[in-house]
Amino acid sequence: MEAQVDAAPVTILGAGAMGTALAAPLTANGRPPRLWGTELDRELLAELRAGREHPRIGHGVDPNVLLFEPEELDEAMAGAGIVVLAISSDGVLDILHRAIPHLRPHHTLVMVTKGFGRDAAGRVALFPPLLRAALPDHLRNEIPIVAVGGPCKANEVAGGFATATVYGSLDDTALALCRATFQTPRYRIQLTSDITGLEIAAAMKNVYAIALGACDGLQEGDGLPRHDLKSAVFTQAVAEMRTVALALGGRAETVTGYAGVGDLQVTGLSGRNRVFGERLGKGERADDALAAMRAAGQTVEGHPAAFLAVGLVDELADDGDLDPEEMPLLGAIENMLRGATEVEEILSEAALPELSGETTGRRASLPG
């Protein structure tokens, strides 16, 4: 695949952590981007404009990065080549609608949003098909969509630390363009056509990170290690992400690679989903933990994602594409979110091999 460098500017929509972080590899490649902020990003933009650090990532941006206020969407997008949607899952479709009047058939849409939404029929869907459905007819099949996953923390990308990412699309030309534009020796990009496996892993890892955090919380509660349980939970989480990916036509290798195993690992090391789970492991009820974190301005993406994942699994089971018995850990997390506090028992039952004594069983991780 030949790299095609497009000299047109890159425009990043969203000046949150990941949107701002992506300015770093682009700048390193001599392509300082345009960074546009939403109404929620005004204070962040003000910090960057003042030459200070972005409050969420601990790094500023190069002076050559052009900053645009919410009212300057037109200027930010005029003449752009690649447009990056760096918006959280609850806002990405709104921002896309605002961007649509400025989109042209030559654009490439890169999406770092991770999670689930619902389609027009109310079914749970991944964001790439939701974005495509939201595009107007004359653009729907013209603009390639590239999804971004993999074990990638915004603060480390911004700091220029070694990072593996995975860019997924059905459009090879768009993938090659993105790699030529974004890749640096420290920010490496693996390409895949398995956008489904990539996005399932990206969305579900936030859910399973709650369970990993809960194991840490159990340990913090009484000072006794729960490494065995945490490792069993990790293994079962990978197995369940693979089960869902396969049911939707994704590939197992995507889930056992950077996008699944890698991203689950990084999400279990830090972040709000892990912290939320930690509180559950220490005995807090889910509603109380969530309220406390909301009061501190912390959103827990894995919470709504868990219920959407349960909905997706139910739909796949109804269609005969998935055996819900293969998803005990997702069920355990749902129970915890609905108020169950016997965290150790619930996670043990869901993540350990079955007691029943068959060599084959519901555990998708079973080596057989």
Active-site residue set: 205
CB of 213 to a second copy, least distance (A): 14
Span from 18-26, 101-109, 219-227, 302-310 in contact with a second copy (CB under 8 A): 219-227
**At its nearest, how many Å lie between a second copy and the CB of residue 302?**
17
Looking at the Cβ atoms of 15 and 351, the one nearer to a second copy is 351
Contact status: 235 vs a second copy (CB under 8 A): yes
Stretch that binds a second copy, among 16-24, 86-94, 112-120, 158-166 (CB under 8 A): 158-166
Angle of CA points 241, 132, 137, to nearest 5°:
160
- Residue 310 token pair: 């349960």
d(CA 48, CA 45): 5
Task: Kindly state the smallest distance separating residue 172's Cβ from a second copy, in Å.
Answer: 8
Q: Would you count residue 30 as binding a second copy (CB under 8 A)?
A: no
Shortest Cβ 207–a second copy spacing (Å): 17
- CA separation (Å) from 257 to 140, 197, 209, 264, 332? 30, 10, 17, 10, 25
Alpha helix ranges (H) inside the chain:
17-21, 23-28, 42-49, 73-77, 92-99, 127-134, 137-140, 154-158, 172-182, 195-222, 227-247, 252-255, 263-269, 272-281, 286-295, 302-318, 328-337, 343-351
Q: Is 50 a binder of a second copy (CB under 8 A)?
A: no
Our finding on whether 228 is near a second copy (CB under 8 A) is yes
Nearer to a second copy, 88 or 236 (CB): 236
Q: 92, 135, 166, 247: which one contacts a second copy (CB under 8 A)?
A: 166
| Contact indicator for 255, 201 with CB cutoff of 8 Å | yes
Binding-residue total with a second copy (CB under 8 A): 74
Which one of the spans 21-29, 106-114, 132-140, 161-169 is the region binding a second copy (CB under 8 A)?
Answer: 161-169
Among 266, 275, 290, 332, binds a second copy (CB under 8 A): 266
Rounded (5°) CA angle 9-94-80: 10
When the beta carbons of 220 and 253 are compared against a second copy, the nearer one is 253
Does 261 sit near a second copy (CB under 8 A)? yes
Q: Which of residues 313-352 bind a second copy (CB under 8 A)?
A: 344, 347-348, 351-352
Cβ at position 310, least distance to a second copy in Å: 23
Asked if residue 20 binds a second copy (CB under 8 A), the reply is no
Contact region for a second copy (CB under 8 A) — 28-36, 44-52, 94-102, 222-230?
222-230
DSSP labels, 284-337: --HHHHHHHHHHTT---THHHHHHHHHHHHHHHHHTTS--GGG-HHHHHHHHHH
Cβ neighbours, 10 Å, residue 196: 22
Burial of 195 (0-12, 13-18, 19+ CB in 10 A): buried
Q: Which of residues 168-207 bind a second copy (CB under 8 A)?
A: 172, 175-176, 179, 183, 185-186, 188-194, 197-198
DSSP label at 2?
A: -
120 makes contact with a second copy (CB under 8 A): no
Find where tokens 């974005």 sit.
131
* Cβ contact 57:21 at 8 Å: yes
Tracing tokens 């369940």 back to the chain, one arrives at 240
In 3D, which of 340, 326, 323 has the Cα closest to residue 285?
340
Q: Kindly tell me which of 63 and 225 has the beta carbon lying closer to a second copy.
A: 225
Note whether 367 binds a second copy by CB under 8 A.
yes
